[in-house]
Amino acid sequence: MSVDQSTVRRIAHLARIAVREEEVPHLQRELNAMLAFVEDLNAVDVSGVEPMTSVIPMQMEWRADAITDHAGTAAVVGNAPVSEDGFFVVPKVIE
């Protein structure tokens, strides 16, 4: 796949990037180099490779789902501009 100069201008327009006319050939070469690299990656056979989430094998550390810091309802609701019966009062948004 190859990118021509009109495609470079269109990409710049869509990305809302101001590109001077003298920059277009350089950007064309850069984009073509990136696309060539992606084509090289597509040529690699990965049929026997399992998907991975990290480059090093690791296990997620699980922690207990426990309350570790609780200032109390009165302290938390006390930060609200308006509260009622231990709850935050917010303006109605749906009628």
Residue 26 forms part of a structural domain: yes
Query: What span, in angstroms and rounded, lies between the C-alpha atoms of 10 and 12?
Result: 5
pLDDT, tens digit, for every residue of 53-75?
A: 888 888 888 888 887 777 788 88
Residue 28 forms part of a structural domain: yes
- Secondary structure of 22-37 in the HEC alphabet? HHHHHHHHHHHHHHHH
pLDDT, tens digit, for every residue of 11-23?
A: 999 999 999 999 9
Residue 71 forms part of a structural domain: no
Domain that holds residue 22: 5-42
Residue 59 forms part of a structural domain: no
Residue 93 forms part of a structural domain: no
How many domains does the structure of the chain reveal?
1
pTM: 0.51
CA distance to 13, 31, 40, 72, 85, per residue, from 44 (Å)? 33, 21, 7, 57, 63
Tokens (6 digits) for 70: 């609780």
Q: What is the largest CA-CA distance in the chain?
A: 67
